[in-house]
């Protein structure tokens, strides 16, 4: 069976592994199981025998592909899919000892399934110290094949030419440390407990130490090789004998602890690092993993692993792991947390707005909190993103949070994160909050006036201490975040009413930015309208698109939805009015209602308002029906006679006579809603009548 599926008692993340070859699948799947099998459901396929329903790959949280070359062989793996990760591979360190039997100076072919992987393995072997061998990359399709007797291959014996006499199989190349770390980040499993990963990776090196320890004093080449291997591992490593004397001491630990390598070998650990306790591990023979200890004034993650005679200790600065975590998180986070706008994206001719932009640029250069105040639709997030992109934090994440959009009972855990089991439904392994995700960048808290008082209190602590504590945890996590908040509410009034903390207000209000509404920037209205129109059709200008009366109405209208409402209006008119100029009757209801008010300075507005007040009940529908029939005829530039109107109205369910229709037509004509002609042309609806029809339909509905 070439498929392995592991089901767990809880519902968690799912990972799909795709490999070439069944042996590869078993080895890599076992490696993943060993690391995260207790947290993630793992499914693995060998693509050569993959089932027909494998397209269900999209249901997995992460797809790990063992080689770049597989992408072209799996139809549903499209380039650029966010949940697909190409694994970086490393040599299986536990098999390195097999290469020691090859005589120095021997010409050896390094065989893999393709040119790139063969050359990569050659480079890796040289970096590990096998410079005494003459390594030649060999792969299927190479011609001519070098005539040599010895080949090294990572579990690809079928690719080795048949004439080769001595084949050294160093096993499947395993998934390397950086890929494993990225898998943990992608699945949101990277926390202090994940540091066990380093212990599992150095276990292969420890195994080599055990197999070869009897030769350390006899073979100088072996010492050089082992030193090269352990110096290529990120952790600091010390190997000691049964009496606690140091046998191996790598460059990483020397640099971390500032010790002179010339006096280390043979010295007892207790003499050089008195704070490092190894006696318990030597006596018990039991591993001690992922303990946090303090040595030389710094915190280290320490792993102590016993051997048959002695032990290996690995130390890594806790801060280094945190930096790696933040870097990997940032790579993932930035895909969704990027500020889209710059100050150049803010279009304006208003002196008031230009001054605001200049002020924003100055504010961007410092690290103080910023409070943006403005009505809905004025562009608060646009300004926040522009400030971020103009600041020294521009390379960091920009995390935008709409506080009003999140349910109040979830806002706290989303902002500050939570630990596994913190509440019913909490994600397995917990979750980093928005503040952690915004580390080294900016968090934008929109609608800040909507957060509850208890969340305000926690937010105040973050602003004061620059650290967060996840829900359900006691661990303090430092965060380096700039806070930009925004609101359309009167926070001072909320303070007086007891709904907003005064101390939080002054923390946020270090630099206030007030964005004026569009009605206070009359000169920007048609300028912005033309900007939005040009994005839709660069051949149009606002003067040819809007009738003069409509353009005047745009300037007089209050635009309660501000720039957003103006943009939506232009886009709606562009899609609905094709091939002609926009007239009053084409406008959306809000603008028509404004036009219909007596205060509007346009002819016909008072007649419409008066008429709407004068008619009620059934008359509303009767007048609307007459105007609707005439509007249908207007498209053909023809009118309708009284007799035809009466017949059409009665077919629609009205009880009209020619006389009642005549009286209604007279009323409509007196108010300028229709024109009555003699003869066959009959009655014709006017532009004012079309506006009246829209108003009637709005009142009926």
Instruction: Grade residue 666 by pLDDT with cuts at 50, 70 and 90.
Output: confident
DSSP string, 98-151: GGGGSPTT-EEEEE-SSHHHHHHHHHHHHHTT-TTSEEEEE-TT-SSPP--SEE
Domain CATH number, residue 125: 3.40.50
- Any idea which of 28-37, 155-164, 328-337, 361-370 has the lowest mean pLDDT? 328-337
Do 9 and 40 lie in a common domain?
yes
Asked if 10 and 65 sit in the same domain, the reply is yes
Whether residue 176 lies inside any domain: the answer is: no
Same domain? 501 vs 530: no
Tens digit of each residue's pLDDT (9 = 90 or more) over 132-160? 889 999 999 898 999 899 999 988 888 89
Domain C-terminal end among 87, 117, 151:
87
* 147 falls within a domain: yes
Retrieve residue 266's tokens.
């043979």
> What does the pLDDT read at residue 637?
58
> Do 253 and 363 fall within a single domain?
no
Averaged confidence pLDDT in the chain: 81
CA torsion angle for 315, 320, 324, 327 (degrees, to 10)?
180
pLDDT in tens, 594-636: 876 654 444 445 567 778 878 878 888 888 899 988 888 765 5
pLDDT of residue 80: 66
The answer to whether residue 577 scores a pLDDT higher than 50 is yes
Cβ neighbors of 148 (< 8 A, separation 6 or more) are 107, 108, 109, 136, 164
Q: So what's the pLDDT on residue 23? A: 83
Q: Both 356 and 463 in a single domain? A: yes
Token duo for residue 583? 């007239």
Query: Are 383 and 505 in a shared domain?
Result: yes
Q: Determine what percent of the chain is predicted with pLDDT higher than 90.
A: 21
pLDDT confidence of residue 359: 94
- Give 159-168's long-range contacts (Cβ < 8 A, gap of 24+): 159/111, 159/112, 159/113, 160/109, 160/111, 161/109, 161/111, 164/109, 168/98, 168/99, 168/101, 168/102
* Domain edge (last residue) among 514, 531, 550: 514
Residues 549 and 610 in one domain: no
How many domains does the structure of the chain reveal? 6
Residue 336 is assigned to a structural domain of this protein = no
Q: Note whether residue 212 is domain-resident.
A: yes
User: Is residue 685 pLDDT above 50, yes or no?
Assistant: yes
113 and 81, same domain (yes or no): no
505 and 366 within one domain: yes
Q: Which of 371-385, 439-453, 628-642 has the lowest mean pLDDT?
A: 628-642
pTM score: 0.47
235 versus 90: which is more confidently predicted? 90
CATH code for the domain in which residue 248 is found: 3.30.450.20
598 lies in some domain: no
Instruction: Answer yes or no: do 466 and 534 share one domain.
Output: no
**Distance separating alpha carbons of residues 283 and 610, to the nearest angstrom:** 100
333 domain-assigned: no
Residues 79 and 99 in one domain: no
- Which residues constitute the domain of residue 298? 190-322
Task: Give the domain CATH number at 612.
Answer: 1.10.10.10
Whether residue 587 is contained in a domain is answered as no
The CATH number linked to 524 is: 1.10.8.60
pLDDT of residue 471: 86
Domain boundary among 484, 514, 544: 514
How would DSSP label each residue in 677-698?
Answer: -SGGG-EEE-HHHHHHHHHHHH
**Integer CA distances (angstroms), 128 to 11, 154, 313, 685, in order:** 42, 15, 21, 90
pLDDT score of 245 more than 60: yes
Task: Say how many residues make up the chain.
Answer: 701
Both 11 and 70 in a single domain?
yes
* Domain presence at residue 357: yes
Q: Residues 340-376: pLDDT tens digits?
A: 889 998 999 888 899 999 999 999 998 899 999 999 9
């Amino acid at each position: 069976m070439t498929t392995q599926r592991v089901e767990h008692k809880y519902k968690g993340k799912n990972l799909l592994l795709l490999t070439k070859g069944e042996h590869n699948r078993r080895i890599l799947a076992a490696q993943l199981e060993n690391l995260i099998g207790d947290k993630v459901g793992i499914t693995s396929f060998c693509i050569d025998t993959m089932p027909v329903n494998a397209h269900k790959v999209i249901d997995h949280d992460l797809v790990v592909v063992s080689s770049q070359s597989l992408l072209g062989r799996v139809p549903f793996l499209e380039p650029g899919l966010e949940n697909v990760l190409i694994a970086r591979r490393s040599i299986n360190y536990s098999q390195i000892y097999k290469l020691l039997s090859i005589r120095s100076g021997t010409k050896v072919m390094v065989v893999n399934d393709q040119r790139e992987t063969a050359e990569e393995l050659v480079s890796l072997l040289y970096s590990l110290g096998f410079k005494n061998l003459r390594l030649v990359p060999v792969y299927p399709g190479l011609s001519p094949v070098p005539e040599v007797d010895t080949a090294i291959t990572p579990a690809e014996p079928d690719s080795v030419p048949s004439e080769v006499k001595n084949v050294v199989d160093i096993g499947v190349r395993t998934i390397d440390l950086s890929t494993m770390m990225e898998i943990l980040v992608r699945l949101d499993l990277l926390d202090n407990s994940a540091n066990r990963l380093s212990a599992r990776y150095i276990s292969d090196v420890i195994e080599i130490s055990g197999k070869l320890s009897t030769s350390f004093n006899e073979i100088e080449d072996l010492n050089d090789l082992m030193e090269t291997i352990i110096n290529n591992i990120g952790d600091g490593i010390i190997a000691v004998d049964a009496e606690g004397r140091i046998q191996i001491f790598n460059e990483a630990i020397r640099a971390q602890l500032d010790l002179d390598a010339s006096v280390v070998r043979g010295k007892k650990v207790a003499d050089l690092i008195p704070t490092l306790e190894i006696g318990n591990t030597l006596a018990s023979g039991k591993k001690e993993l992922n303990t946090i200890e303090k040595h030389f004034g710094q915190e280290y993650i320490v792993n102590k692993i016993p051997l048959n005679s002695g032990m290996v200790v690995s130390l890594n600065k806790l801060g280094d792991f945190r930096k790696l975590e933040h870097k990997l998180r940032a790579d993932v986070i930035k895909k969704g947390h990027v500020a889209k706008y710059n100050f150049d994206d803010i279009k304006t001719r208003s002196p008031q707005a230009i001054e605001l932009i200049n002020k924003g640029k100055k504010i961007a250069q410092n690290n103080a909190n910023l409070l943006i105040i403005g009505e809905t639709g004025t562009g608060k997030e646009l300004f926040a993103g522009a400030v971020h992109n103009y600041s020294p934090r521009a390379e960091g994440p920009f995390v935008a949070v709409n506080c009003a959009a999140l349910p109040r009972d979830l806002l706290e855990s989303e902002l500050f994160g939570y630990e596994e089991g913190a509440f019913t439904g909490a994600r397995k392994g917990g979750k980093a909050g928005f503040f952690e995700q915004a580390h080294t960048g900016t968090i934008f808290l929109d609608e800040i006036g909507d957060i509850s008082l208890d969340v305000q209190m926690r937010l105040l602590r973050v602003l004061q201490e620059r650290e967060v504590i996840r829900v359900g945890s006691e661990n303090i996590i430092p965060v380096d975040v700039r806070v930009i908040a925004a609101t359309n509410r009167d926070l001072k009034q909320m303070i007086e009413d007891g709904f907003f903390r005064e101390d939080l207000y002054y923390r946020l209000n270090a630099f206030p930015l007030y964005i004026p509404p569009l009605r206070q920037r009359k000169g920007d209205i048609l300028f912005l309208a033309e900007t939005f129109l040009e994005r839709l059709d660069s051949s149009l200008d606002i003067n040819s698109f809007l009738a003069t009366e409509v353009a005047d109405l745009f300037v007089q209208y209050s635009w309660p939805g501000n720039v957003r409402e103006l943009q939506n209006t232009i886009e709606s008119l562009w899609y609905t009015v094709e091939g002609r100029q926009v007239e009053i009757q084409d406008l959306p209801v809000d603008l028509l209602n404004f036009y219909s008010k007596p205060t509007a300075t346009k002819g016909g507005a008072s007649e419409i308002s008066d008429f709407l007040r004068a008619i009620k009940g059934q008359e509303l529908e009767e007048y609307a029906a007459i105007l609707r029939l005439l509007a249908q005829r207007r498209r053909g530039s023809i009118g309708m006679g009284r007799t035809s109107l009466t017949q059409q109205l009665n077919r629609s369910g009205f009880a009209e006579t020619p006389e009642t229709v005549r009286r209604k037509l007279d009323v409509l004509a007196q108010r300028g809603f229709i024109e009555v002609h003699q003869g066959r042309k009959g009655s014709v609806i006017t532009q004012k009548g079309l506006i009246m029809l829209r108003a009637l339909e709005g009142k009926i509905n």
